[in-house]
Structure 1
Amino acid sequence: MKKRYSQEIKRRAEKLKKSGKSYSEIMSLLRVPKSTLSSWLGKKFAHFTKEQQDVHLAKIRKIALAAVQKRIKKRDEEVSRSVGKEVAGYPIKDPGFLKTILGMLYWAEGAKYKGVSGLKIVNTDPDLLRLYITLLRKCYKINEDKFRIRLHLHYYHNKGRARKFWSDVLGIPESRPVAVFVKKRSRSKRFRKNFMGICFVNYCDSSIRREILEINRQLLKKLVRSNVPVV
């Protein structure tokens, strides 16, 4: 026998539909089958009002965004698992392997022009500089007193916080001298704000620089097999 519903249930269904609720949501709230709701609301709500359309579109966009975010998260998790398995097999204790990474990093970011003395690298990315100085310490017997750190800051940076931040990143005691240059505020020139300024890391040892660059030259010859000149 077909179940009978009160007029109050019908009015509630209409009110919910007017508010933008979907059939599925109304079914869940009122425990009324979709076929029954369709017979009550089908003709009356065959066309959305402008307000209902806006509500409906907002819900669809929210659902679509959630689906995209879920898909991106799943993709990123799959990439993370795949790369994690691969990296687990890397010979990270092999000095030659670490020197190769160090060489590529310095080739990309370090000073290579003629006449430069020692190792010089500059960046705003703390993770990149942390990796660089970690590799340098693992690959070579380092004299910590040969490090020279310089910071270029803007007017909005706090000198004390910036010095502590980079000291922690580089593993260099705060008591060590750090040269700090504060750029004067420009009223006309616009610039992109950076997190903790620009950090220059200099290490006074040209022999390490020569070896690193030679590793790059040898790898280029071995892997690319060409006579492309290396600076």
Structure 2
Amino acid sequence: MKFYSSDIVEKIREERRKGFTLRQLGEKFNIPNNTISIWVRDIKSHTNSFLVARKREESSRNELKRVGDNFKIDKTTAQILVSILYWCEGSKYPATNNLSFSNSDYYLVKLYIELLRIGFNINERKFRARLQIHTTHNYKKELTFWSKLLKISKKQFERPTVTNPTKNMKRLSYRGTCTIKYYDVKLQLNIMGIYEALGKRVISGGLPER
């Protein structure tokens, strides 16, 4: 994957605000239109192609929206969903002896912790959290944001990891990466057991032995 400097991204966003089309921007900067569209998707345009694309996007989003709207989440369902999320993004035993889930998508992190609370009898005092942020972030502001979002006391946040931002493309609306830890190795093994059993049922022929 090719990376582009934040200067290029900002320059293209400025040009988009002036009314340049994706094709014009692509030809001017020699960058694929699909890449540019991701960088400028939050910038409104009155061009016909933009309005048509947005209408098509909204239609696709709503096409099966009812599936999510009508999906009932009970305790068992929450256990399955959170196990799948943990299978994808969590740290596994024996590398860690706690439930450790890390992501920069705050919507996903919020979903994970709420499903965990619905699916299991959680002791809130066992939660710990840690942020990885850039030197350009205001730590107090980000700490307040994540603490309020996840309903975890600020006192349960460990010292953050602070890094210098790279010269590569900046992520829009980046609030840092949050790692949630829940210190209960039995629950960790329970969750691993759920997704392993699910995998064996769904995958034809079962899973190979580890």
TM (norm. structure 2) is 0.69
Relative contact order (C-alpha < 8 Å, sep 6+): which is higher?
Answer: 2
The question of 1:183 aligning with 2:162 is answered yes
Contact 1:221 1:227 in 2 (8 A): yes
2:115 maps to 135
Alignment identity in percent?
29
> What CA distance in whole angstroms lies between the structure 2 residues aligned with 1:76 and 1:128?
21
The yes-or-no answer on 1:125 pairing with 2:108 is no
Offset, 1:164: 0.5
Aligned partner of 1:146 in structure 2 is 126
RMSD: 2.5
Contact between 1:152 and 1:198, CA under 8 Å: does it hold in 2?
yes
- Asked whether the equivalents of residues 99 and 139 of structure 1 are also in contact (C-alpha less than 8 Å), the reply is yes
Secondary structure in 2 matching 1:196: coil
* Residue-by-residue CA offset, 1:23-65 (whole Å, 9 max, x unaligned): xxxxxxxxxxxxxxxxxxxxxxxxxxxxxxxxxxx9xx9xxx7
Match of 2:12 in 1: none
Distance 2:51 2:164 in 1: 44
Q: Deviations over 1:65-105 (max 9, x none)?
A: 7332232233223223322222233222x222222211111
* Equivalent runs, 1:100-111 vs 2, <5 Å: 100-111=80-91
| Residue 215 (str. 1) matches residue 180 (str. 2) | no
In the superposition, relative to structure 1, how do residues 109 and 182 fare at CA in structure 2: closer, same or farther (>3 Å)? closer
User: Larger C-alpha radius of gyration, 1 or 2?
Assistant: 1
Is the CA contact 1:124–1:198 (under 8 Å) kept in the aligned structure 2?
yes
CA distance in 1, matches of 2:137, 2:158: 15
Decide whether the 8 Å contact of 1:152 with 1:180 is kept in 2. Answer: no
Report how many residues are paired. Answer: 165
Q: What is the letter of the counterpart of residue 85 of structure 1? A: R
TM-score of the two chains, using structure 1 as the length reference: 0.63
Structure 2: runs of 5+ lacking an equivalent:
1-20, 25-45
Q: Residue type of the partner of 2:192?
A: L
Which stretches in structure 1 are left out of the alignment for 5+ residues?
Answer: 1-57
Tell me which of 56, 67, 80 is aligned to 1:75.
56
